[in-house]
Chain A
Amino acid sequence: MNIFWEQVGSGLVTGGIYASVALALVMIYQATHQVNFAQGEMAMFSTYIAWSMIHAGLPYWVAFVLTVLISFVGGVVIERVIIRPVENAPVLSVVVVFIGLLVIFNSLAGWIYTYTIKSFPSPFPSQPLFGFRYVSPHGIGAIGVTLVVLVLLYAFFRFTPLGLAMRAAAQNPASARLVGIRVGWMLALGWGLAAAVGAVAGMMVAPIVYLDPNMMSGVLLYAFAAALLGGIDSPGGAVLGGFIVGVLENLVGAYVIGNDLKLSLALVLIVGVLIVKPAGLFGKTLVTRV
């Protein structure tokens, strides 16, 4: 039974990370109806930036905040400079651009930082808190950070004028322009936020899986599965989906198919969701009029 709760515990930790990346994916999807295939690599690159700062002697939380800010600006710049020119191109061309980004980030990371695995520090104490043995202290900290980020985002979108404007721009860009919202910049902001959230996710997962340029590809796949499971246009669903996928992954890996094939769970989940309920648990089912 101990093993079960351990698996659930670490599943919640990784689930929180999947939830964050899934949220970033959903945010960009809601605003642009595009899936950002490069989300994982951007998060990985941000984590490397944090690593360089920590290595240069900066205290952890200073590096953390700086990385989040840099990632935010980076996301905004990428949207304005690289994505905007192909806004109206066919879907496939946009997918290729995302793939180009993915490849560039992956390769740059490998070039600048080499492919040797690096360890990434955790800001949380290494002794188990209150003797709680099912989740490591870093795990609890990671879940905590994830929840804080999610709550902040929720509050931002729900209660601030800018958040309202971003929601409006995503739902109905034409009407948003008619009330004076600069829709292009709202898109860029969305990208910035998604990049920042991704950076947090990367910094939380790196201590667990160690830092290397391919760190995020598995995470990205699980995040896709989570976003689909929750509903690709439901932020709350994406978060819940993330936790579910995290726990499921660990339980299935421990009890059913072994760790090697864990990734295929993501495939099964994705295909399964898409067949049974394409809108996901909380997404809006689209009924098209013939």
Chain B
Amino acid sequence: MAALLSAAKLEAFYGPTQVLHGLSFDMQEGSITTLLGANGAGKTTTLRAVCAMIRTRGEISFDGQRIDARGTEDIVRLGIAHVPDGRGTFVHLSTEENLRLGGYTRRDRHAVAADIERMYEYFPRLRERRRQQAGTLSGGEQQMLAIARALMLKPRLLLLDEPSFGLAPLIVGQIFDIMRTINQKEKVAILLVEQNAAMALELADHVYLLETGRIVISGDAEAIRNDDSVRRSYLGY
């Protein structure tokens, strides 16, 4: 089966500094893949590279088409939704306006309205706060809002950057449950960047481990979970 997302010899730069040194990886339709690694390994950079938010060299393909030369707005319209680190919420707009913006590129107004309702079912807390300014929501609620906004795009691929960051363990658990549900019900593939390796390994099918801009380990999540030496030396537990 052809990969949904694939990268070949991907390099990425912040200005003159090279941060990714020839990454090659791929993802299947409907799968969950996680990128693990220490701070500064290049995980967030990889997500940004896929969305053309930074300068890259090398090939990236989505659904058979090359996307490395396109702009962020076009890549997003192909069906890739990105929940950036820090959530990227429109803090001065209301919760509902944030959701509507998620559906900005879609033509079918009624379906968008129906989807907003569906998001409120996934995340009831958001319905209570629909008219509230998004910046006043709690961290967990903003994370849920960010994911909901991304889902409004009806994406085939969801890029998630550190969803657990700064959240209480209970909320993190809820969010991971929702991600599992979304993956199964909506058939959305998820590329997950996480510091919380344990939770990520529970969720994912496939793992890539990054170190200073290179992939050092790639494998089945199950296998890595059961491999004590890898876990101890690279993941710290």
Contacts and interface: CB of A to CB of B under 8 A. Distances in A.
A164 B73 contact: no
Contacts of A172: 88, 90-91
B84 interface: yes
B72 interface: yes
Contacts of B55: none
A183 interface: yes
B93 A177 contact: no
A164 B84 contact: no
B136 interface: no
B93 A165 contact: no
A83 to B, nearest CB: 19
A183 B104 CA distance: 13
Interface string B68-89: 0001110011000110100011
B153 interface: yes
A178 B90 contact: no
B218 interface: no
B102 interface: yes
Contacts of A167: 92-93
B104 A178 contact: no
B153 A180 contact: yes
A284 B82 CA distance: 29
B104 A174 contact: no
B93 A175 contact: no
A253 B61 CA distance: 67
Contact-residue bracket for chain A: 10 to 19
Contacts of A171: 90-93
A172 B91 CA distance: 9
B84 A179 contact: no
B88 A168 contact: no
A165 B101 contact: yes
A126 to B, nearest CB: 46
Given A177-B72, A181-B73, A183-B73, A164 B101 contact: yes
B77 A180 contact: yes
Contacts of B84: 174-175, 178
Contacts of B71: 177
B100 A164 contact: yes
Contacts of A179: 76, 101-102, 104-105, 149, 153
Given A180-B77, A181-B73, A183-B73, A175 B104 contact: no
A165 B73 CA distance: 13
Contacts of A165: 101, 104
Nearest to B89: A175
B20 to A, nearest CB: 19
A182 B73 contact: yes
B3 interface: no
Interface string A147-175: 00000000000000100110110011011
Given A179-B104, A180-B76, A174 B53 contact: yes
Contacts of A168: 90, 93, 101
Contacts of A177: 53, 71-73, 76
A181 B153 CA distance: 12
B29 interface: no
B141 interface: no
A181 to B, nearest CB: 6
Contacts of A175: 84, 88-90
Nearest to B88: A175
Given A161-B100, A168-B101, A175-B84, A180 B73 contact: yes
B70 to A, nearest CB: 12
A161 B108 CA distance: 13
B107 to A, nearest CB: 11
B187 to A, nearest CB: 21
A161 to B, nearest CB: 7
28 contacts: A161-B100, A164-B93, A164-B101, A165-B104, A167-B93, A168-B93, A171-B91, A171-B92, A171-B93, A172-B88, A174-B53, A175-B88, A175-B89, A177-B53, A177-B72, A177-B76, A178-B51, A178-B76, A178-B81, A178-B82, A178-B84, A179-B76, A179-B102, A179-B105, A179-B153, A180-B104, A180-B105, A183-B73
Interface of B: 51, 53, 71-73, 76-77, 81-82, 84, 88-93, 97, 100-102, 104-105, 149, 153
Given A172-B90, A178-B72, 20 more contacts: A164-B93, A164-B100, A164-B104, A165-B104, A171-B90, A172-B88, A175-B84, A178-B81, A178-B84, A178-B88, A179-B76, A179-B101, A179-B104, A179-B153, A180-B104, A181-B73, A181-B101, A181-B104, A182-B73, A183-B73
Instruction: List 6 tightest A-B contacts by C-beta distance, closest first.
Output: A180-B105, A175-B88, A177-B72, A180-B76, A180-B77, A182-B73
